[in-house]
Amino acid sequence: MTTELNPFDVAKKQIDIVAKEMGLDPNIREYLKRVERSLIVSIPIMMDDGSLKIFEGYRVHHSTVRGPGKGGIRYSPDVNLDEVKALATWMTFKCSLLNLPLGGAKGGVRVNPRKLSERELERLTRRYTAEIINVIGPDIDIPAPDIATDKKVMSWIMDTYSMQKGRSTPGVVTGKPIEIGGSVGREQATGMGIYFVLQGLCEKLNFNYKELSYVVQGFGNVGGTIAELLYNDGCKILAISDISTGIFYEGGLDIPKLLEWVKYGNYLKDYKDDRYKLITNDELITSKCDILIPAAIENQIAKDNANNIDCKIILEGANGPTTPKADKILFKKGIHVVPDILANSGGVCVSYFEYIQDIHSYFWKLDRINKELKRIIIEAFEETYRISQKRKINLRTAAYVIAVGRLAKAIELRGFFP
């Protein structure tokens, strides 16, 4: 893998860029380029057919300087330690940007969950939890959903942890079902955050977001939610994609029908509508539109295709979809890139609300969740925008100036042990 496409190299490069911009203490710069701890575990699973398969899992804490670690767990056949380290690093910056009293962590298991039965998936989740049990907990590190993990997986983690500790511990994970300590609004939160940030930026640029055209890469929790919110407001969504294909229709896709289709495990490539054209991932990313929302995986906009991007705004629903080389090209082209640590931070923000609600055993109503989410994310957006204008830098570096600034202050105040 080239350095441009290694997510941890990307994260380190981003730290170098902001360090230079801020004149950051070189000791702190080097410290932020390391993770606090990485745990690699083997997960032996008895498969339904009686064979034994051993999967590899990870949990990484990048920083707990500002609070316990926080970040999702992804199930993917491609996940690896460097990717998890990068994702943990981005979580640190995301939580710091929103000024949440949390650090950054991430986990993953190298598995294709579509190839496992429900019982196998449960055994895998429970064994993975048992293997990482000493590094998670409400005041150590609180996992959450990420790619291919959901509230069912969070229930199994919560149950396994609680059984081992001998007490019900809802605060060990967020993204749980409501019935066992989950929060209303958590499932939609990442999409909702994108929606608020979009409106904030459109206000600055004097655009009416309802009159713009959209392309969304990814149709999972994040892509699906934002596409639905936009569709409900009458916005035109020209293209979306899942792992099977992209689909395009100039007249605007019928998002509710497509959501209903994928809900039962169907692929977009099998959806039948003669008006819809199947397109490749590269065609999707470079489609002409006003707003592009990459909401899938890392490295989708790199130096090879950045010149062909044809939109006004990019909202990063995924973590790490744009490489630093692409960032430079997009900045020159005048495209506004709202970085992942801001655009997709709605998820961890409502995770934080869930965690507080679990600790207090007192649960909020949806209007309070969305009001507080909007307040926190818009505050972070306003500050990011202000700094980008003042320093004439892109929104990513501006967001990092805030996030790294807060972290540097916390590191300085705590000092280095011993």
Give burial (CB, 10 Å; 0-12/13-18/19+) of 381: buried
Give the list of residues 6+ apart from residue 154 with CB closer than 8 angstroms, or none. 143, 144, 145, 173, 174, 175, 176, 177, 182
CA distance 216 to 221: 12
CA distance 414 to 136: 22
Instruction: Lay out the site mask for ligand GLU across 359-398 (x = CB under 6 A, - = otherwise).
Output: ----------------------------------------
H-state helical runs in 233-323: 255-263, 281-285
> Is 136 among the residues that bind ligand GLU (CB under 6 A)?
no
> Is 174 among the residues that bind ligand GLU (CB under 6 A)?
yes
Residue 106 annotated as catalytic = yes
CB of 224 to ligand GLU, least distance (A): 15
CB of 350 to ligand GLU, least distance (A): 7
| List 106, 176, 236, 312, catalytic entry | 106
H or E element at residue 105: strand 104-110
Q: Which residue is nearest to ligand GLU (CB)?
A: 72
Q: How many CB atoms lie within 10 A of CB 352?
A: 23
Give the residue with the Cβ less far from ligand GLU, 297 or 330. Answer: 297
- CA 48 → CA 52, 413, 417, distances in Å? 9, 53, 48
- CA 101 → CA 104, 178, 319, 402, distances in Å? 10, 23, 21, 15
CB of 358 to ligand GLU, least distance (A): 13
- Out of 12, 59, 62, 70, which residue is the one contacting ligand GLU (CB under 6 A)? 70
Residue among 271, 165, 291, 168 at smallest CA distance from 229: 291
CB of 219 to ligand GLU, least distance (A): 17
Site for ligand GLU in 83-102 (CB under 6 A): none
- Out of 83, 141, 146, 358, which residue is the one contacting ligand GLU (CB under 6 A)? 146
Instruction: Lay out the site mask for ligand GLU across 324-363 (x = CB under 6 A, - = otherwise).
Output: --------------------x--xx--x------------
Site for ligand GLU in 248-307 (CB under 6 A): none
CA distance 233 to 229: 7
Query: Which residues have a catalytic role annotated?
Result: 106
Q: Which residues bind ligand GLU (CB under 6 A)?
A: 70-72, 144, 146, 174, 319, 344, 347-348, 351
